[in-house]
Structure 1
């Protein structure tokens, strides 16, 4: 069986250099910021540089519009994040968080628990899945905060998380930077 091929390109954004990755079917499989925790960890082979793929043109256009303050729909891009079924479900829920709003790890845990017929689900398990989101920004993991308002756990870094949610017009009054964070 032939190994899958993956391709990458660079997008220069207002928050720094971003690597975009796609598979051979031109589905987006990755979007990582420079220095991001878990950078490229879902891709099990070397990514071939290719700046001319149509999907990269579409993704860069999507990001241009996002950073101009427009609200492009996630559904405009074919996404194929690589991960187990639990992570896939969490990432689907992230896609449902409206632009300019935040939700909590606990709220996502309640949704998953209900779907699985459980009384409770660990917010930490949700945090792990959110933190390993391989398509940052497009799958908006930056829109998840702790139930107490702490801006913890963003693999792209707390400063980047703040820039993204401020960019989206999120009310920051009840949000704060924790003294100790799991994010870089």
Structure 2
């Protein structure tokens, strides 16, 4: 089991929990978010402000919320996921700011056109919200669907990024 450092950060959309290993940032969750870390799991984490990855995330996230940062530059540790989940999360990283894709589009990009539900489940389990932009995935026809942090936050993030349909 990896040692995990953690820090809490206030954001315009509510408190955010950050987590990092020695390899990189491994978690960004809105407090109380579905599929976020349990209180029991977090008891083994070390509150830390000197972890370089947490410090950098604490600088970049406020700049993002202020509209001053277009692309995050943070080492990520996505090892908590299965190889399939990791492939989905890596694909999410290539969706440009201000754009979106459907779950079906993402499944086709991964050469798994019949795995739309599995892709959706992996998107929903993304442990690094905002930075791995799962909020840029929309339902067929462009409707807001499924966001573990709440649909109102998904809409706010897309609007912040200048998504043309919101």
TM-score greater than 0.5 by the shorter chain:
yes
1:168 maps to 2:165: no
**Counterpart position of 1:11:** 9
Choose which of 59, 62, 65 in structure 2 pairs with 1:67. 65
Range with bigger deviation, 52-61 or 139-148? 52-61
How many Å separate the matches in 1 of 2:151 and 2:28? 17
Q: CA deviation at 1:66?
A: 0.4
Residue 46 of structure 2 aligns to a residue whose secondary structure is: strand
How many Å separate the matches in 1 of 2:77 and 2:50? 20
Question: Superposed, which structure 2 residues align to 1:45-124 within 5 Å?
Answer: 46-74=44-72, 76-81=73-78, 82-113=80-111, 120-124=113-117
Query: How large is the RMSD of aligned CA atoms in angstroms?
Result: 1.8
**Counterpart position of 1:128:** 121
The TM-score with structure 1 as length reference comes to 0.83
How many Å separate the matches in 2 of 1:93 and 1:71? 20
Moved runs in structure 1, 4+ residues, more than 6 A? none
How many Å separate the matches in 1 of 2:143 and 2:121? 16
Q: CA deviation at 1:171?
A: 1.7
Aligned residues: 163
1:65–1:71: 8 Å Cα contact kept in structure 2? yes
Structure 2: state its 5+ residue gaps.
none
Q: CA deviation at 1:44?
A: 6.2
Question: For the pair shown, which has the larger CA radius of gyration, 1 or 2?
Answer: 1
2:88–2:119: 8 Å Cα contact kept in structure 1? yes
1:33 maps to 2:10: no
Q: CA deviation at 1:71?
A: 2.9
Structure 1: state its 5+ residue gaps.
174-184
Residue 142 of structure 2 aligns to a residue whose secondary structure is: coil
1:62–1:72: 8 Å Cα contact kept in structure 2? no
* Cα displacement string for residues 77-112 of structure 1 (whole angstroms, at most 9, x for unaligned residues): 110122011110100110000011111100011112
